[in-house]
Amino acid sequence: MKFFWKIFCSTIIITAFTCSAGGYYLIRSQFHLSLDREIAAAYSENAILWQIMDEELKDLTSMKEEVPDIADNITVNVSGGSIPFAVMLCVLFAGVGLVSFIVSSLLLSPLKKLSSATKQMADGSFRQQLNISRNDEVGELASDFEQMSVKLEEMVNELKEYSRRQKDFVDNFSHELKTPLTSIIGYADMIRSKEMEPERRMACADYIYTEGKRLEMLSLKLMDLIVLEKQDFTFRPVHMREFLGQVADAFSPVVSGSGISFSARIQDTALRVEPDLMKTVCMNLLDNARKAVDYEGSIVLTGRKIPNGAYCISVEDNGKGIPKEEISRITEAFYMVDKSRARAQGGAGMGLALCSRIIELHRGRMKFVSRVGRGTRVSVYLRAGRRAPGDAGERRQG
């Protein structure tokens, strides 16, 4: 049985019992009072009659007529009072029932709203506005329920956001593993399959060790950046000729044997960067260029100073190019210009989205210039730090 009907029926039963008990005692007391009055009146009349009988012994007929008249009056009064009481009792029950129905409806309407809001929350709509303005316990319950729904929605959104960041971390880290692993496999294959001088073998082993350590540090830093949204990374001065030279050396095994020409032209200066994260940007841009070019294509990595005191890192290729209408979307997570080609080469659409976040962390900017069928140039602009020794040199690699 619903709570509404419990209240309604309980009110009717209590009212009926109270009215019945009260009516019983009221009628009983009134009956005894009336009976006492009639007895007293009968005694008085009897005394009068005896006096009359004493005075008029001959008039016996009048005495016989007066006694039945008294009895008839008593009977009529009692029977006439039973009918109004029954009608009054029925009217009372009907009125109590109507009032109980209205009061129960008013009391339970907020609970019906609460029940409906609970069902909507179960369906996933957490923020609920009940619009219940009352100063009693039900109003307090409604206010607490609204606050609970707001807190619950915030907690669910936080959990969803945390889950999304964890997924982004897995996707990004999986993406970042590919290019370094290719370099590691390439250098390991050179050590295994070729006769090399000890110095060259040591250099290959050093690249393998360096890339392995970088992957170890990168996993922790990507977790800080994506999952924990850390912003206070340690930036330190880095000589760009040496830094980009290491990037070029790590990328060379990736394109060796593929027919792709790769070269690097690097001017030196000192920048305050987070080396592992910035290397992730460079390797991503180079890997995207590799995926865009065909056999016998070319990729150029350039590092140069620009007149406004900044430093520009650019990666240029002569590959497929990017349609103009899609350039504004390529830094979105999971967006791929050529989906079939990207998936065939193991792409997930996460690289440029991660690059964009890292460059924002460095307070830099990224610019895309592309023509379909002619190629693409991606430029990263960073603010320069103090000038390093030997600033005028260039490095070339082919």
Q: Which two tokens stand for residue 42?
A: 């009968």
What is the mean pLDDT for each group of 10 consecutive residues in the chain (398 residues)? 66 76 77 85 82 66 54 48 65 77 74 77 72 71 80 84 70 66 80 83 83 72 60 86 92 85 94 90 90 88 90 94 84 52 41 83 92 92 59 41
Closest by CA position to 211, among listed 185, 233, 229: 185
Options 3.40.50.620, 3.30.390.10, 2.40.50.140, 3.30.565.10; which CATH number does 161-383 get? 3.30.565.10
Could you tell me where in the chain the CATH 3.30.565.10 domains are found?
161-383
pTM (2 decimals)?
0.49
pLDDT of residue 157: 84
pLDDT of residue 78: 45
Distance of alpha carbon 396 from alpha carbon 173, whole angstroms: 30
pLDDT of residue 110: 74
3-state DSSP percent of the chain in helix, strand and coil, to 5: 65, 10, 25
Residue 266 near residue 241, CB atoms below 8 Å: yes
As a dihedral over the C-alpha atoms of residue 249, residue 251, residue 252, residue 257, rounded to 10 degrees, the angle is 160
pLDDT of residue 377: 95
Closest by CA position to 122, among listed 156, 147, 160, 159: 156
The DSSP 8-state label assigned to residue 294 in this structure reads -
**Is the Cα dihedral 125, 127, 129, 132 positive or negative?**
positive
Distance of alpha carbon 185 from alpha carbon 212, whole angstroms: 11
pLDDT of residue 170: 67
pLDDT of residue 122: 77
Distance of alpha carbon 163 from alpha carbon 165, whole angstroms: 5
What is the Cα 59 distance to its own chain's centre? 107
E strands, the chain, are: 236-239, 261-266, 270-273, 298-305, 310-317, 365-371, 375-383
Task: Please report, as a single letter, which amino acid is at residue 34.
Answer: S
pLDDT of residue 350: 52
Give the residue carrying structure tokens 């050590």. Answer: 191
